[in-house]
Amino acid sequence: MSHYEAPIRRPLVTGNKTYHDVTVDVARPVEGRANKSWWIVFTIALVAFLWGVGCIIYTVSTGIGAWGLNRTVGWAWDITNFVWWVGIGHAGTLISAVLLLFRQKWRMAINRSAEAMTIFSVVQAGLFPIIHMGRPWLAYWMVPIPNQFGSLWQNFNSPLLWDVFAISTYLSVSLVFWWSGLLPDFAMIRDRAVKPFQKKIYGILSFGWSGRAKDWQRFEEVHLVLAGLATPLVLSVHTIVSFDFATSVIPGWHTTIFPPYFVAGAVFSGFAMVQTLLIIMRKVVNLEDYITIQHIELMNIVIMITGSIVGVAYITELVIAWYSGVEYEQYAFLNRATGPYFWAYWLMMTCNVFSPQVMWFKKIRTSITASFIISIVVNIGMWFERFVIIVTSLHRDYLPSSWTMFSPTFVDIGLFIGTIGFFFVLFLLYARTFPVIAQAEVKTILKSSGDKWKRLRAEHGDDIDHFDTVVREPLANADAGVVEREGPSTEDKHEDTVNADALGLTEVQKDQIDEMLHRIGIYDPAVDQADDLQKLNGVGPVVEQHLHQVGIYKYEQVANLTERDYELLESIFGMFPGKDVRQDWNSRANELKNKN
Partner 1 sequence: MASKVIHAIYTDDDLLLQAVKQVRQERYHIEEVFTPFPIHGLDKALGLAPTRLAVTAFLYGLLGLAVAITLMNYIMIEDWPMDIGGKPSFSFFQNMPAFIPIMFELTVFFSAHLMVITFLLRSRLWPFKKAENPDVRTTDDHFLMEIAVADHDEKELSKFLYDTGAAEIKLIDKE
The count of residues interacting with partner 1 (CB under 8 A) is 80
d(CA 57, CA 63): 10
Is 240 a binding residue for partner 1 by CB under 8 A? The answer is yes
Choices 219-227, 298-306, 310-318, 410-418 (CB under 8 A): range interacting with partner 1: 219-227
d(CA 33, CA 48): 24
Q: Which is nearer to partner 1, 130 or 161 (CB)?
A: 161
Which pairs with CB-CB distance under 8 Å and at least 24 residues apart come from 471-478? 471/508, 471/511, 471/512, 472/511
Q: Which is nearer to partner 1, 180 or 404 (CB)?
A: 180
The answer to whether the CB of 263 falls within 8 A of the CB of 217 is no
Amino acid at site 198: Q
Q: Which is nearer to partner 1, 479 or 580 (CB)?
A: 479
Interacting positions 455-484 with partner 1 (CB under 8 A) = 465, 467, 469-477
The three-class DSSP label of residue 525 is coil
CA trace torsion 562, 564, 568, 570 (10° rounding): 80
Of 213, 480, 502, 575, which one interacts with partner 1 (CB under 8 A)?
213
Is 226 a binding residue for partner 1 by CB under 8 A? The answer is yes
At closest approach, how far in Å is the CB of 562 from partner 1?
17
At closest approach, how far in Å is the CB of 518 from partner 1?
17
At closest approach, how far in Å is the CB of 255 from partner 1?
18
CA 443 remoteness from chain centre? 16
Q: Which is nearer to partner 1, 148 or 151 (CB)?
A: 151
The three-class DSSP label of residue 63 is coil
Q: Which is nearer to partner 1, 262 or 271 (CB)?
A: 262
Is 219 a binding residue for partner 1 by CB under 8 A? The answer is yes
Integer CA distances (angstroms), 204 to 160, 184, 201, 209, in order = 38, 12, 5, 10
CA trace torsion 589, 590, 592, 593 (10° rounding): 110
Q: Which is nearer to partner 1, 13 or 351 (CB)?
A: 13
Is 256 a binding residue for partner 1 by CB under 8 A? The answer is no
Adjacent-strand bridge partners of 450: 13
Binding mask 13-52 for partner 1 (x = CB under 8 A): -----xxx--x-----------------------------
The answer to whether the CB of 167 falls within 8 A of the CB of 126 is yes
Q: Which of 241, 256, 239, 245 is nearest to 391 (CA)?
A: 245
**Does the CA dihedral 188-191-194-195 come out positive or negative?**
positive
Q: Which is nearer to partner 1, 5 or 531 (CB)?
A: 5
Choices 200-208, 333-341, 497-505, 522-530 (CB under 8 A): range interacting with partner 1: 200-208
The answer to whether the CB of 98 falls within 8 A of the CB of 231 is yes
At closest approach, how far in Å is the CB of 206 from partner 1?
7
The three-class DSSP label of residue 471 is coil
Interacting positions 375-404 with partner 1 (CB under 8 A) = none
The answer to whether the CB of 586 falls within 8 A of the CB of 556 is no
At closest approach, how far in Å is the CB of 338 from partner 1?
34
Q: Which of 12, 6, 102 is nearest to 294 (CA)?
A: 12
At closest approach, how far in Å is the CB of 123 from partner 1?
18
Binding mask 431-460 for partner 1 (x = CB under 8 A): ---------xx-xx--x-------------
At closest approach, how far in Å is the CB of 493 from partner 1?
16
Of 75, 106, 177, 523, which one interacts with partner 1 (CB under 8 A)?
177
Is 421 a binding residue for partner 1 by CB under 8 A? The answer is no
Binding mask 482-521 for partner 1 (x = CB under 8 A): --------------------------x-------------
Is 567 a binding residue for partner 1 by CB under 8 A? The answer is no
Q: Which of 355, 282, 273, 293 is nearest to 94 (CA)?
A: 273
Q: Which is nearer to partner 1, 465 or 528 (CB)?
A: 465
At closest approach, how far in Å is the CB of 317 from partner 1?
23
d(CA 550, CA 79): 69
Is 191 a binding residue for partner 1 by CB under 8 A? The answer is yes
The answer to whether the CB of 593 falls within 8 A of the CB of 535 is no
How many degrees, rounded to 5, is the angle at CA 313 between CA 309 and CA 318? 150
CA 217 remoteness from chain centre? 25
Read off φ and ψ for residue 450, nearest 5 degrees: -75, 145
Of 48, 166, 569, 592, which one interacts with partner 1 (CB under 8 A)?
166
Is 243 a binding residue for partner 1 by CB under 8 A? The answer is yes
Interacting positions 519-538 with partner 1 (CB under 8 A) = none
Q: Which of 246, 107, 224 is nearest to 163 (CA)?
A: 246
At closest approach, how far in Å is the CB of 489 from partner 1?
8
d(CA 134, CA 137): 9
Q: Which is nearer to partner 1, 206 or 560 (CB)?
A: 206
At closest approach, how far in Å is the CB of 563 from partner 1?
16
Of 63, 232, 340, 578, which one interacts with partner 1 (CB under 8 A)?
232
CA 127 remoteness from chain centre? 24
Of 14, 70, 154, 316, which one interacts with partner 1 (CB under 8 A)?
154
